[in-house]
Amino acid sequence: MSEDWQESKEFSTPFNLKLIRWIALTLGRPIARCFLYPISIYYYINAESQRKASHDYLSLVFNRPATRLETLKHIHTFAATILDRVYLLTGQFNKLDIQFPEVNIPRTYSHKGVGCLLLGSHIGSFEVLRSYAVSNYPLPIKILMYENQAPMMVQVLNALNADVANTLISLDGSASGLLKVKEAIDSGTTVGLLGDRILGKNTEKTVTCTLLGKPFTLSTAPILMAAALKVPVIVFFGLYLGGNRYKIHFDLLDEVVILNRKTRQQDIQRYAQQYVDLLEKQIKQHPYNWFNFYDYWKSNEQ
C-alpha cells in the first residue's frame, strides 16, 4: 500500500463503533470480547490493505513469512484495545489490570511543577494512561492529536467522557495549537503526543532512521518542540499483554534536549534514532502491539 496513513480509510464505521460501544456497556466485557472474534475475521477478510500491511510487518519482525493465524491475532489485538478504550473512557478500571512501573517518571516531574513531553507511538494503547491519569491521580495532562485521522473513532469514543475529551489539543496546523502547548508546559502540565507518524511529507521536516533494519523517515517535530521548550522528554508505552492486562512503561529520552549550532542535524538524528531504538525494543518484545496498519516503511519513503 503506497498511500500515506492520512489517506487510508478508517478501520470501522460509525454504526460499527456505536454497536461495539453499546455491546461493551450493556452486555459487559466478557460477552463483548466474544464479539471480537467475528469482528477480527470480518476485517481480516475485507480489509485487504491492512491485512497485507500486518502480514508484511509481522514477517519482518519474525524474520520469516507470517502465518494467517498470526495476522488474525494482530488484528484481534488491535480490536481488543479498542474495546477496552470504552471501559477506560468510562472509568471502569476495575475491569482491567493496569501495571504501573515503580517509578512513575511523569508524575515525579509533575510533583515538582515541571511540565514535560510524553512521547508515545502507535504501539499499544495511549488511552490507558490518558484516561487513568485524568480519573485516578493528579497528573495534569494534555494530548496533541491529529484528529483528521480516525475522526469517527475519536468522536464516538471520546463522547463517553467529556473530561478526557477536553484533554485534547488539536493539531490543525495553526499557531494556536503550539501556543496551547507552551501554556500547558509552563503550568507544569504533561503534554503527550505520538511521534511515529508524519503529518505531511511536503510540509514537515524529517530525518531518516532505521527500524527493524529498514530505513524510513521520521518527523523531527517532537525533538524540535522539546528543544524549544527545554523540557524533559519521556517515551511512553501502554502495552497490551492479553486478557485484561496492560503494562505502563516509561523511558527518559533526556532531561533537556540540546541542539548545538554546529552539530544541530547530527543531534536531531541522534535523538530521533534513540526514540526509534526504544520503539524497536518494545516491538520485538510485544510484536502484536504494533498498530500502524499500512505499509509503514514504503509510505514514509522520501
Reduced to 3 states (helix: H, G, I; strand: E, B; else coil), residue 167 is coil
Looking at residue 37, its pLDDT comes to 94
Looking at residue 1, its pLDDT comes to 32
Looking at residue 257, its pLDDT comes to 93
Looking at residue 70, its pLDDT comes to 98
Looking at residue 5, its pLDDT comes to 40
Reduced to 3 states (helix: H, G, I; strand: E, B; else coil), residue 78 is helix
Q: Could you list the residue range(s) of the whole structural domain that residue 89 is in? A: 5-299
Q: Give me the residues of the chain with pLDDT under 70, please.
A: 1-17, 133-139, 146-169, 171-177, 199-204, 299-302
Residue 151 half-sphere exposure toward CB, CA atoms < 13 A: 7
How does DSSP assign 220-255, residue by residue? -HHHHHHHHHT--EEEEEEEEEETTEEEEEEEEEES
pTM across the whole model: 0.86
Give the chain's domain count.
1
Looking at residue 147, its pLDDT comes to 54
Looking at residue 105, its pLDDT comes to 87
Give start and end residues of each alpha helix (H) in the chain.
14-27, 29-34, 36-46, 48-62, 68-89, 105-111, 127-136, 151-158, 162-165, 175-186, 221-229, 264-285, 296-299
